[in-house]
Amino acid sequence: MRPTSNKILFFINKCKQVKMKSVIGCFLIGAVAFSSTGCSTIKTNELTTDESQILKEKSVALSKYDKLPDFAAQTAANVQFGLLGLATAISNGNKIINKNNIEDPALSISRQLAEGLKSNHNVKIIESNEYVSAKSQINDLVTKYAGHDFVLDVKTVGWNSIYFPSDWDSYRVMYSAHARLIDIKSKQVVAEEVCTHVPEYADTNQAPSYNDLENGTGLKASLEKSVEYCVEHIRNMAKLHQANKEKLAVSQ
């Protein structure tokens, strides 16, 4: 699974649309775009207690996408070369992802959310080896997983790394994902949420260096924290931890 490179033109167009005081502004737009593109209009959709009843002992397929978004590994050096530097950042970032065999973080998020659904609703989890197109819409997902009752669709929508303005030797990895639980029969989204993780450090020296990103250690550690954050955020906001009525009665 390799990142695509179609966001380069998106960033270039964004840079042309605004008056930049410096090329750094363009890079910052790139960072924000990776985290928010396509997600700003998505509203939280909570799984209600009544909706959760239909999950009991049903099958839930986990979606897998065939492509990842570009990973822009932005450095202070890239900034000096304007848009060419941005293209270099994307190229270098994608190489880091591929060289270190970084698995799509959305898969880890999906698996952990699925375990919660299994615990609360005794659903059967199906993780297929088949991939769906990154451009897939609800109808495509419903068709792909037609043999199941639900599909838990978690997709990486943006990720990148950027240096701290106050510390060019340290970097933070930003990550965004979109999760939704789709009823195959009705083609309705019964739960939905977006998460964006931008790590904060009391001391930037605790953040990974560029070498840590390149050799994969710092990148994997950062993405593990993003997964942990997103699982908790999505589960709480979309109420995926909602227990069925029988379990609620037992607990009371």
Which long-range CB contacts under 8 A does 74-82 form with residues at least 24 apart?
74/27, 74/30, 74/31, 74/160, 74/161, 74/162, 74/163, 75/163, 75/168, 75/210, 76/163, 76/168, 78/27, 79/23, 79/24, 79/27, 80/23, 82/23, 82/26
pLDDT of residue 1: 56
Residue matched to tokens 């701290």: 164
Task: Extract the tokens encoding 123.
Answer: 């659903």
Query: Pick the residue with more confidence: 4 or 61?
Result: 61
In this structure, are residues 241 and 235 in contact, taking their beta carbons and an 8 Å threshold? yes
Label residue 188 left, alpha or beta by phi (over 0 means left) and psi (-120 to 50 means alpha).
beta
pLDDT digits (tens, 9 = 90+) for 177-196: 999 999 999 999 999 999 99
pLDDT digits (tens, 9 = 90+) for 46-93: 999 888 899 999 999 999 999 999 999 999 888 777 778 889 999 999
The sign of the dihedral angle between the CA atoms of 180, 181, 183, 189 is: negative
Domain ranges of the chain: 42-68+103-251
Task: Extract the tokens encoding 15.
Answer: 């840079």
Q: Give the residues across from 60 on adjacent strands.
A: 125, 150
pLDDT digits (tens, 9 = 90+) for 91-108: 999 999 999 999 999 999
Number of residues in the chain: 252
This prediction's pTM: 0.83
42-68+103-251 in CATH: which number?
A: 3.40.50
Residue matched to tokens 């109420």: 239
